[in-house]
Chains A and B, each alone.
Chain A
Amino acid sequence: MEITGAQALIKSLEREGVEVVFGLPGGAILPVYDPILDSPIRHILVRHEQGAGHMAEGYALATGRPGVAMVTSGPGATNIVTPIANAHMDSTPLVVVTGQVARAAIGTDAFQECDITGITMGITKHNFLVSSPHEIPRAVAAAFHIATTGRPGPVLVDLPKDVAQSRMEWWYPEGLEELDLPGYRPLVGLDEAELERAAALLATSERPVLYVGGGVLKARAHEQLRAFAERTRIPVVTTLMARGAFPDSHELALGMPGMHGTYAAVTALQRADLLLAVGTRFDDRVTGRVSAFAPGAKVIHVDIDAAEINKIRRVEVALRADAAGALGALEEMGAAPANLDVWWKEIRTWQESYPLTYDPPVEAGPLRPQHVIESIHAASPEGTVVAAGVGQHQMWASQFWRFEEPGTWINSGGAGTMGFGVPAAIGAKVGRPERTVWCIDGDGCFQMTAQELTTARAEGIPIKVAILNNAYLGMVRQWQEMFYEERYSEVYLDADLPDYVKWAEAMGCVGLRARTPAEMRVAIEEANAINDVPVVVDFRTDTSEKVFPMVAAGASNDDIMVHPSQRGRA
């Protein structure tokens, strides 16, 4: 069967089981937008290509399936660079198709030409410039294979316009051989000797901690994790990328470690004699000053990406493997420490002395941001999916929401991309339409990508957005307050400019506002009752609130600052 390259591209996406593509057309990708009309694949027309990328990420994080975005060349392609970088940092499987100028025009500074494979070389797992229509099926199949296997990540396929317009004889690669990837061998076997050494270290450990990262979610290893933790009774900390990998309600859960982690999680890592680090990369936001991190601990590191092992921290045992496989194998061996009662007793005192806390709500307002998050959690259905922007509100969301299952926390970790929340929430809702999806956003973040609510309204994607409106770039303000002698430089935003309610209404959404706890409860109830259009609630929160606990950048985790109300406690 002879078809065009453009038809082959769409057909290839269909073969890969793609149900939705987020994108926006333009000159170089125009040929591909024609066969979309005849395809069962749903296309969601975004208002800015950054939105398409973050939507694809939100979709991937909520469903575990690769997200797909499609944009035109030049500015279309550069607009999606931020989401690609974000997905690269957070190991999110993404396939991004970009239009490119015709082959003969490449290298001539043609209209809307840009070297997007060059630009994204360092922020993709791999990228392809497709050189002939015959190669399209192979490039697409390879892109999905690479994006979703091993340590997942974004893959970009750059498609010159004339390649899309030329004809080809349809074919599709059968099996890995035909993908022609002689250098790509993502699967690693478990090393028996290393497993034995891991079991031996576990057996003699008295203060072990399961330091769980996003890799556990990527490997869908949450059940293996739970079985292993419950049998061994090893305490579990879940990093910002791993929230939902282990239920927060579980008695073994200590919550999030790191710069804004719980006192118990941070301190357990510091005092541990053994870290079982699974699918995690010793990020500086977790370790604080590396030389002072978990000083007494030996480390067993499980990671599918061998380059992560010994990158930041020298380890005693390396298991270069998938988290599910490694945890499953350790479980089969019955590897376990002896009695952890003394260790747990110590941990319980930290939990009791320094729980997450905040000042009591004030009836007259302004609202406590933590109270808003807890109230939304309490009033929303079980299994609600939460997306966040980046800043104080993100940390509070991670701290005060209770995550019970995978795929319910949609967040930008490694890159910390402001503006991620709204589009990511839209993507998550597209992937899991049966779930309630809330975006906990900052007023600063909201202003970066709010235009995608127009997309949400137009496409019938009823997400809910809570703006924790503190009139500031709050996280930066917090640092200026604490480390720059309250010299506030370029962080004030104004709570009334823009008028978020009117803005929401202008985009076809319902806009609500709440200034007091009483108004807040009503607004949340109203928002949860609306299921046909997106809702935006402008929660007026206290500007002076800060995120605690906190470990200052570059400081030792031993120097954790707790909430002011807890200072001086034993």
Chain B
Amino acid sequence: MSPEPFLGDVEHSPVRHHILSVLVENKAGVLARVAGLFARRGFNIYSLAVAPAESHERFSRITIVVDAETAPLEQVFGQLHKLVNVVDISDIAPDDAVERELLLATIATDVDNRTSLLDVIGAANASIIDVDAHHVTVMLAATPEGCDALERALEAHPGVELHRTGRVAVPRLGVPTHEPARSR
């Protein structure tokens, strides 16, 4: 799902961001409810990733990176908790999180750029997962900053088509997740 309608005017990897891991019931329209709430309340989403959670049938996990400038965290929590399909929310401060993101990019190749491209791919620790005579597709699973760096490096190459998933995160081991102002 594209986060277009509520994607705010935020920098890549904003400093003042928070990561919310939201466990929701796996029901029709739940993503629209969450996205609609953010749009309605003027909370900016930097990225959003959604997939089935541990117990696949009943729940999904939505990982939302919110711009903490536009959204007092207590408000985001309180309003999210009011959605009947939201089962649990945990907030992971960026410093306490292990964050990863997946980047896929297809790049047009020719004799002139092949060497420099291989250097970029090697330096980023990305892997080549598909090739044909004129293209190469690379993959990187890394921190958002790592993905940013590869994206910038690839910008120099014409004919790049690049996709990023938005980050997912888990708490760093040994750090308790904290949950301000539970609404229920």
Q: Indicate whether A306 reaches chain B with its CB closer than 8 angstroms.
A: yes
The yes or no answer to A307 lying at the interface (CB within 8 A) is: yes
B181 at the interface (CB under 8 A from A): yes
Partner of A146, one of B32, B84, B181, B182: B84
Chain B min CB distance to A423 (Å) = 27
- Given A306-B78, A307-B79, A307-B82, also A186-B32 (CB < 8 A): no
Task: Tell me which of B6-14, B23-31, B97-105, B141-149 binds A.
Answer: B23-31
Query: Would you call B25 and A183 a contact (CB within 8 A)?
Result: yes
Residue B184 CB within 8 A of the other chain: yes
- Does the CB pair B184–A306 fall under 8 Å? yes
Known pairs A305-B82, A307-B75, A307-B78; A187 contacts B183 (CB<8 A): no
In the complex, the chain A residue whose C-beta lies closest to that of B89 is A183
A122: contacting residue among B40, B182, B184, CB under 8 A? B40
Inter-chain contacts of A320 with B (CB < 8 A): 183
Is chain B's interface secondary structure helix, strand, loop, or mixed overall?
Answer: mixed
Q: Does A271 contact B (CB under 8 A)?
A: no
* B85 at the binding interface (Cβ < 8 Å): yes
Q: Are B78 and A188 neighbours in the complex by a CB distance under 8 Å?
A: no
Write out, one digit per residue, whether chain A residues 116-132 have a CB within 8 A of any chain B CB (1) or not (0). 01100110011001000
B150 CB–A CB distance under 8 Å: no
- Complex: A320 Cα to B85 Cα, angstroms: 21
* Interface contact A183-B75, CB-CB below 8 Å: no
Which of A506-534 touch B at CB < 8 Å? none
Given A121-B33, A121-B36, A183 and B181 touching (CB < 8 A)?
A: no
Shortest Cβ gap from A205 to chain B (Å): 25
Contact B87 A129 (CB under 8 A): no
Chain A: residues with Cβ within 8 Å of the partner, total of: 26
Query: Is B33's CB under 8 angstroms from A306's CB?
Result: no
Interface residues of A in 279-335 (CB under 8 A from B): 305-311, 318, 320
Q: Is the CB of B32 within 8 A of A183?
A: no
* In the complex, residue of chain A having the shortest beta-carbon distance to the beta carbon of B36: A121
B172 on interface, CB distance cutoff 8 Å: no
A508 to B135, CA, bound (A): 80
**Cβ-based interface call for A569 (8 A):** no
Indicate the size class of the contact surface on chain B. 20 to 34
Distance, CA A225 to CA B181, complexed state (A): 26
**Interface check A483, CB cutoff 8 A:** no
Q: For chain A, residues 153 to 184, give those with C-beta under 8 angstroms from any C-beta of chain B.
A: 181-184
In the complex, the answer to whether A181 meets B184 with C-beta atoms within 8 Å is: no
Quick check: B83 and A129 within 8 Å, CB to CB?
no
Query: Which residues of chain B are within 8 angstroms of A307 by Cβ–Cβ distance?
Result: 75, 78-79, 81-82, 183
Q: Give the complex CA separation of A118 and B33 in angstroms.
A: 9
CB-CB < 8 A to A187: which residues of B? 184
B24–A183 CB distance below 8 A: yes
Question: In whole angstroms, how far apart are the Cα atoms of A305 and B81 in the complex?
Answer: 10
Q: How far is the CB of B76 from chain A (nearest CB, A)?
A: 9
Q: How far is A517 from B179 in the complex, measured between Cα atoms in Å?
A: 63
Please report the C-alpha to C-alpha distance between residue A130 and residue B32 in the assembled complex, in whole angstroms: 17
**For the complex, what is the distance from the CA of A146 to the CA of B83, rounded to whole Å?**
11
Instruction: Tell me whether B86 and A183 are in contact (CB under 8 A).
Output: yes
Among B28, B81, B82, B87, max chain A CB count under 10 A is at B82
* 13 A-B pairs (CB sep. < 8 Å): A118-B29, A121-B36, A122-B36, A122-B40, A126-B84, A187-B184, A188-B183, A305-B183, A306-B181, A310-B75, A311-B75, A311-B78, A318-B181
Interface residues in chain B, defined as those with a beta carbon under 8 Å from any beta carbon in chain A: 24-25, 28-29, 32-33, 36-37, 40, 58, 72, 74-75, 78-79, 81-88, 181-184
Q: Which chain A residues have a beta carbon within 8 Å of chain B's beta carbons?
A: 117-118, 121-122, 125-126, 129, 146, 150, 181-188, 305-311, 318, 320
